[in-house]
A = this chain, B = another copy of it.
Amino acid sequence: MLELAILGFLSDHPLHGYELRKRVAALMGHVRPVADGTLYPAIKRLAAAGWVTRKDEPGAAAAPRRVLYLTEDGRAELERRLREPADLDISDENRWFTLLAFLRHLDEPGAQAAVLRRRLTFLEEPTSFFYDGERPMAAEEFADPFRQGLLVIAQATSQAELTWLRNTIADLESTPAAG
């Protein structure tokens, strides 16, 4: 998820680590802050894989910067990760939102629609959080207001997303294929 975000941000502009950190923090930091000890090893991994290159530049305000550039291999890797996301990228909200933030870098509307369809399929699956034996329990069955809330919120959330997904898939599939 972090690696995807790095590849995605670098796909827009070359960035140095500090700026990258700020963008990553803006995207998902309010939900799950990213520590330096997570970011820099991640950059190192991507560099070792040949997906980003580093160039030293004098610092604008302070210490010298190591500006990161996405390589051609890196762009291909980004596309691969967007085109064929893991199941966890589809089901986990944090990962899914990160994917969504960079899905425009997949430039075929058909491929974009295919990814949205996977999320649609996932959200359309009937799932319950709690069971009475085999039988899924509805919100109204709980005396517990917190479990009620859990189900009510989850339902409202997925309704909003389902609406958006269906509209956007329809738009994408009515778009003539990009040339």
**What residues of chain A have their CB less than 8 Å away from a CB belonging to chain B?**
23, 26-27, 30-32, 88, 91-94, 97, 100-104, 112, 125, 127-131, 144-147, 149-150, 152-154, 156-157, 160-161, 164-165, 168, 171
A106 CB to closest chain B CB, in angstroms? 9
Would B157 and A100 count as touching, CB distance under 8 A?
no
Given contacts A32-B88, A103-B146, A149-B164, 20 further A-B contacts (CB under 8 A): A26-B128, A26-B129, A26-B130, A26-B131, A30-B127, A31-B91, A32-B91, A92-B94, A100-B149, A100-B150, A101-B129, A101-B130, A102-B146, A104-B144, A146-B168, A152-B160, A152-B164, A156-B156, A156-B161, A157-B157
> In the assembly, how many copies of this chain are there?
2
A176 CB to closest chain B CB, in angstroms? 16
Known: A30-B125, A30-B127. A153 touches B164 (CB 8 A): yes
Can you give 21 contacting A-B residue pairs, CB < 8 Å? Answer: A23-B131, A26-B130, A26-B131, A30-B127, A31-B91, A32-B92, A92-B94, A97-B154, A101-B147, A101-B150, A102-B146, A103-B146, A104-B144, A112-B146, A149-B168, A152-B160, A152-B164, A153-B160, A153-B164, A156-B156, A157-B160
Q: Within the assembled complex, what's the spacing in Å between the Cα atoms of A164 and B154?
A: 12
Main secondary structure of the interface of A (DSSP, over half): helix
Q: Within the assembled complex, what's the spacing in Å between the Cα atoms of A35 and B130?
A: 19
Residues of B with C-beta under 8 A to A150: 97, 100-101
Residues of B with C-beta under 8 A to A128: 26
